[in-house]
Amino acid sequence: MKVSVIIAAYNIEKYIQRCIESVVNQSEREIEIIIVNDGSTDNTLNIINKVNELDDRIIVINKKNQGLIEARKTGLKYANGEFILFLDGDDWLENNCIEELYKTANDKKADVVLYNAYMVYDDRKEIFDTFIEKFIDDIKKNPVKNLLLLNISPTIWSKFIKKSFIEENNIEFPQNISYAEDLAAVLNIFINKPKIVCNEKRLYNYYQRNDSISNKISSKVLEIDDAIQFIKEKLVEINIYYENKEEFEYTVFRHLLISKILRFNYLYPERKKVFQQYKARNIDINKNKYIIRDLSYGNRNLKLRINLYNLNYSIATLCDKSLGYVK
């Protein structure tokens, strides 16, 4: 078996058939399709079962709801493929995705293949670079550093992974992390120094639906600190924290302050607590070369907002409201 495609599905009755059909119709036929229904309460399982009757390569696993990480871990236990591809149940693959990735991995004898995607909205389709092309050489040499610097997307679905590499290095998905879980999982792979190659083709369609978890904020956002702490502990455990300290601080800055405070345009209930998690990391933005670099290229208003938040959260929030940055 060449490839195991693992699909995690939870309450996605509108999208799951499109997802499965994109795998069933792949130009590469030597695959298995493992669908993990994570306790869906809508019509998702019925749709999966109907499609299952049409293709004997499909394996359906029905389990109680435990979240995305547990669904993927369950699927991995059943996988027999030489390579693993994780697919979210509301996304879909280009018709030649698996053929392209398998050929790249085989030709280059890779442990992990990175590849690009499309970001799909209801009214448009945009390019989604999951790695920055100009950093390809350094990505291959220093994947952990480049993951922390966001030169590589933390998404697990954009990694085509050799199953024997996972097994030989006893790589497991992190426990008890339900927000930013991909970032923690990918770091767990990269610290084991895989041979990485890049395929620049766009082979995956990432659907940004209005009700998706990644498109809104819930109370789970506070659990992002668990992922960040997991990363720090892993770096310390293998004695590479201090050589990557600035990179680690940069990922905290980007994931907490920039992504969860400055780029969300409404005052969700947990916002102040997220900011407090960021402040607790004691990052000096004036001494981190990567943050200094970003601020030197950023617009003046962004710099002022960051400095004001570092001085006083309440005053900064009032200013953001008066200027229309948040509602």
Model pLDDT, residue 211:
59
- Asked, for residue 220, whether it belongs to a domain, the answer is no
Q: How many domains is the chain built from?
A: 2
Task: Kindly state the helix (H) or strand (E) to which residue 114 belongs, with its residue range.
Answer: strand 112-120
Q: Are residues 246 and 150 in the same domain?
A: no
**154 neighbors 125 (Cβ within 8 angstroms):** no
Q: Are residues 197 and 271 in the same domain?
A: no
Model pLDDT, residue 67:
87
Q: Are residues 87 and 152 in the same domain?
A: yes
Burial of 168 (0-12, 13-18, 19+ CB in 10 A): exposed
Measured distance CA(64)–CA(296) in Å, rounded = 49
For the stretch 121-176, pLDDT in tens is 999 999 999 999 999 999 999 999 999 999 999 999 999 999 999 999 999 888 87
Q: Are residues 119 and 245 in the same domain?
A: no
Give Rg (Cα) of the chain: 20
Q: Are residues 138 and 251 in the same domain?
A: no
Model pLDDT, residue 82:
98
- Asked, for residue 166, whether it belongs to a domain, the answer is yes
DSSP state of 173: P
Measured distance CA(305)–CA(258) in Å, rounded = 10
Question: Residue 217 — very low, low, confident or very high, per pLDDT cuts 50/70/90?
Answer: low
- Asked, for residue 223, whether it belongs to a domain, the answer is no
Domain CATH for 98: 3.90.550.10
Where in the sequence is the domain holding 258, given as residue range(s)?
Answer: 239-323
Q: Is the pLDDT of residue 198 over 70?
A: yes
Q: Is the pLDDT of residue 196 over 90?
A: yes
For the stretch 261-309, pLDDT in tens is 998 888 889 999 999 999 999 999 999 999 999 988 877 888 899 999 9
Q: Are residues 34 and 100 in the same domain?
A: yes
Q: Are residues 182 and 63 in the same domain?
A: yes
Q: Which two tokens stand for residue 177?
A: 């992390």
Q: Are residues 19 and 74 in the same domain?
A: yes
CA 164 to chain CA centroid, nearest Å: 22
Q: Are residues 201 and 256 in the same domain?
A: no
**Residue finishing a domain among 214, 249, 274:** 214
Question: Residue 213 — very low, low, confident or very high, per pLDDT cuts 50/70/90?
Answer: very low
Q: Are residues 154 and 90 in the same domain?
A: yes
Q: How far is CA 115 from CA 97, 131, 267, 292, 326, in A?
A: 10, 8, 35, 29, 35
Model pLDDT, residue 92:
98
Q: Are residues 163 and 255 in the same domain?
A: no
- Asked, for residue 230, whether it belongs to a domain, the answer is no
- Asked, for residue 232, whether it belongs to a domain, the answer is no
Q: What is the 3-state secondary structure of the chain?
A: CCEEEEEEECCCCCCHHHHHHHHHCCCCCCEEEEEEEECCCCCHHHHHHHHHCCCCCEEEEEECCCCHHHHHHHHHHHCCCCEEEEEECCCEECCCHHHHHHHHHHHHCCCEEEEEEEEECCCCEEEECCECHHHHHHHHHCHHHHHHCCCECCCHHHEEEEHHHHHHCCCCCCCCCCCCHHHHHHHHHHCCCCCEEEEEEEEEEEECCCCCHHHCCCHHHHHHHHHHHHHHHHHHHCCCCHHHHHHHHHHHHHHHHHHHHHCCCCCCCCHHHHHHHHHHCCCCCCCCHHHHHHHHHCCHHHHHHHHHHHHCHHHHHHHHHHHCCCC
- Asked, for residue 222, whether it belongs to a domain, the answer is no
Model pLDDT, residue 214:
46
Give me the chain's average pLDDT, please. Answer: 93
For the stretch 220-268, pLDDT in tens is 788 899 999 999 999 999 999 999 999 999 999 999 999 999 988 888 8
For the stretch 46-101, pLDDT in tens is 999 999 998 999 999 999 998 888 999 999 999 999 999 999 999 999 999 999 99
Q: Are residues 169 and 317 in the same domain?
A: no
Cα dihedral sign for 284, 287, 293, 297?
positive
Model pLDDT, residue 223:
87
- Asked, for residue 132, whether it belongs to a domain, the answer is yes
% of the chain residues with pLDDT over 70: 97
- Asked, for residue 233, whether it belongs to a domain, the answer is no
